[in-house]
Amino acid sequence: MIRVILLGLVLIMSGCTSYMGSYQYRPSKVSKKYPSDVLADTPSTVKKKNGELTASMRPYTVFGKEYCPTVVSVGDTMTGRASWYGSDFHGKSTCNGEAYDMYAMTAAHKTLPMNTVVRVTNLENNQQTVVRINDRGPFVESRIIDLSFSAAKEIDLVAKGSTSVRLEVLGFEPSDAKSIDYKRMANGPKQEVLNSFAVQIGAFANIQGALETQKKYTPFHGYSAIIKDSQYNNAPLFRIWLRGFRSEAEARDFIAQGYFSGQFITRE
């Protein structure tokens, strides 16, 4: 009999942390600063020369609801409240697989692509810091970013816990980046389209079970099933993803239909 590994176990491996700021921790270690900004300051467009939207940016309808694919461009700005997280999460996995380092210049954001680099301005004192997105959160209404301890320290946020901020997208680092390379970023892409969402519907210790499930659910309501090889406790784990979702909202609507138990959104 094929042994199915509980999806709850996989959620522990793959889930993003959700949290509020840790506001009392005050280590003495000095934060490391990045060099002065070299901005990639030419915003991209999502339109053709004749003004039409490119094919990948046209609105589309799924389950009777219209969606507009999300584009994040260099120069985009947004405002909201920032918080920070510290020692309680130090060393734990972030959403892109890195270990959270409270002394690194990183941050969590709900929707920005991983490795997006943003300038954060504290609107109460005009102090600034630059961070790389490597985690998801904060899952609190009106808060748009959770900073590492060192980044929060640079804008005098630690003692207060939260403050009003403005975010400005500076660029995008490669998926394997662990730090900010301003020269590389300036020569890199000027926009990212968030269109590579998937929904995990199962996980197996046995490849045969994964193959049978992939065959059963390809296609499924227009989506295709793929197998993602991984490891857990030094043993193989074969995860089944449905792919083809063109936005996070589309994937959420699919999950709301209740086709599978324990399903959750992931990024390819």
H or E stretch covering 214? helix 207-216
Instruction: Say if domain 195-267 classifies as CATH 1.10.260.40.
Output: no
Q: State how far the alpha carbon of 210 is from the alpha carbons of 217, 241, 242, 264, in Å.
A: 11, 10, 12, 17
pLDDT of residue 236: 86
Cut 0.85: pTM above it: no
Band (22; pLDDT cuts 50, 70, 90): very low
Q: Which two tokens stand for residue 63?
A: 């389950």
Please check whether residue 206 is in contact with residue 2, taking contact to mean a CB–CB distance below 8 angstroms: yes
Q: Which residues of 58-94 are buried (b: 16+ CB within 10 A; e: fewer)?
A: eeeebeeeebebbbbbbbbeeeebbbbbbeebbeebb
d(CA 267, CA 248): 9
pLDDT computed for residue 219 by the predictor: 85
pLDDT, tens digit (0-9, with 9 covering 90-100), for 231-261: 777 788 899 999 877 677 778 888 888 899 8
Portions of the chain given CATH number 2.40.40.10? 56-193
Among 61, 106, 62, CA closest to 84: 106
C-beta of residue 60 within 8 angstroms of C-beta of residue 246: yes
Quick one: average pLDDT of 217-233?
A: 84
**pLDDT for the residue numbered 96:** 75
User: Higher-confidence residue: 196 or 224?
Assistant: 224
Q: What Å distances lie between residue 215 and 187, 211, 218, 220, 247, CA to CA?
A: 42, 6, 5, 10, 24
What tokens appear for 51 in the block?
């003004």
- For residues 75 and 264, what is the distance between their CA atoms, to the nearest angstrom? 31
pLDDT (0 to 100) of residue 265: 84
Residue 63 scores a pLDDT above 70? no
Q: How many helices (H) and strands (E) does the chain have?
A: 5, 14
Looking up tokens 């020569």 gives 187
User: Quick count: other Cβ atoms within 10 Å of Cβ 237?
Assistant: 18
Residue range(s) occupied by CATH 3.30.70.1070 in the chain = 195-267
- Could you read off the pLDDT of 77-130 as tens digits, one per residue? 989 999 999 888 888 888 777 888 999 999 998 778 788 899 999 999 999 999
DSSP 77-123: EEEEEEEE--GGGTTSB-TTSPBP-TTSSEEE-SSSPTTEEEEEEET
- Residue-wise pLDDT for 184-193, tens only, equals 888 888 877 6
pLDDT tens-digit readout, 26-48? 232 333 322 222 222 223 333 44
CATH code assigned to 56-193? 2.40.40.10
Average pLDDT, the chain: 74
Across 62-76, 145-159, 211-225, 243-257, the highest mean pLDDT is recorded for 145-159
CA dihedral 109, 114, 115, 121 (to 10 degrees): -10
Q: How confident is the model at residue 67 (pLDDT cuts 50, 70, 90)?
A: low
The proportion of the chain whose per-residue pLDDT surpasses 90, expressed as a percent, equals 30
